[in-house]
Amino acid sequence: MAKLSIWLAPFSPDYSGAASVFFDLNAVSAMHDALGCTGNYTGFDEPRWYGSKSATYCSGLREIDLIMGDDEKLISKMLMAGADLKPDIFALIGSPAPMVAGCDLKGIARELEARSGIVSVGIDTTGTEHYDRGVFLAVSALLDRFAEAGQTRPGTVNIVGANPMDFGETANLADLKSMLAVNGIGIVSAISMDYSLASIKEAPKAQANLAVSRAGFLIARDMEKRYGQPWLAGLPVGEKAAVSYMGLLRMMMEDGKPRVIKGEPSRGGTKWLIVGEQIQSNCIRNALAAEYGETDVTAGAIFGLEKALASDGDLDLRDERAIKKAINSGSYDAIIADPFLYPLLEDKNRRFLHHTQYAVSSKLGSAYKADFIGGAFNKWYEKGISQGNMSPKFLERSA
């Protein structure tokens, strides 16, 4: 019963993360499911969906298809879609039902490619992992098929792990790109938002990788093994911290040693708990110390705690019970978390700053989205502190 949620909706799953990777590409993607998983992605997990031309479809899986193993039905549908849309790539994305049945999506993709002549990949997502795992699997598949090693371009980076479930409808990715450009750092690819297959081909030529999410951390380690590229796991959050970030980036590019920005805590003063995506939480902790002298900060990872990214005392808060216990423990004076977690807080006088994560609250949290690159963090923090606790608007609508 540890996984039972009374209030929280399920966080964005791996198949949504995988589908988001193909969103910007000239791809035909099919979620192999009966419609529910596809609807979850298009309706709740993908802020870019409405008004877009992204070709993401449902395979229309039925029980008899699953029992009889009728792969031809899926292949035929993909061939018809390919004839109309002329994609560069086909993507078959898994869901719980084919996972339970042992469906061989990679094998189906090989058959589809042989018959269509179009590069086809099968992504073994299951719906039982979080979106970051799906992002990693999909990017790995693209690197396998399209990346081309070549001469390193000095002074350039790939931004890896950019995805809408972490960056939502904010300006953070655009602000990061602008900051890099101002500091003379070239960008080869921003995997996997606002990019193309051409940039995937060039990705191995970047001098280094910037891992901007836990998914990005997984991708950066993989690319280090493949191409020997060093990486920096973190974001330039906060005005002063952004200066330090650029210095750390240049050091990493010079000595080739991977680095993680954790914002090491020292105990004493106001006790903060940041609940959210691990790399963002680390960098907010770093900014609180650099900008405001708030050093007693614990990060709580809600999508699974990556030990290599954690500081001593950080928490694994992967289910509602663990989150509720932590924020109501009395161990923390102030909390930064998605507004969808606010109803779990029993003492509404305890400081709570809303920091939306699209993977948690989807459209409901859009009113509290936060731009936090560079000085934007300072503005967000100071506004939140001055306002005091506010009940999220979606609670008023549901009352």
Distance CA 119, CA 364 (A): 37
pLDDT per position as a tens digit, 316-327: 999 999 999 999
For residue 144, pLDDT over 70 is answered with yes
User: If pLDDT is split at 50, 70 and 90, which confidence band does 2 have?
Assistant: low
For residue 126, pLDDT over 70 is answered with yes
What beta strand segments (E) does the chain contain?
A: 27-31, 55-58, 89-93, 119-123, 153-160, 186-191, 206-211, 231-233, 259-260, 272-276, 297-301, 315-316, 334-337, 351-354
Distance CA 193, CA 234 (A): 17
Write down the mean pLDDT value for the chain.
Answer: 94
Phi, psi angle pair for 16, to nearest 5°: -70, -40
CATH fold match for the domains 14-145 and 148-260: yes
Structural domain spans, the chain: 14-145, 148-260, 272-398
Task: Average the pLDDT over 188-212 and give the result.
Answer: 97
Rg, C-alpha atoms of the chain: 21
**For residue 350, how many other CB atoms are within 10 A of its CB?**
16
pLDDT per position as a tens digit, 68-84: 778 999 999 999 999 99
State how beta strands 297-301 and 334-337 pair. Answer: unpaired
Which CATH entry fits the domain spanning 148-260: 3.40.50.1100, 3.30.565.10, 3.40.50.1980, 3.50.50.60?
3.40.50.1980
Domain 14-145 has CATH 3.40.50.920: no
Distance CA 348, CA 328 (A): 10
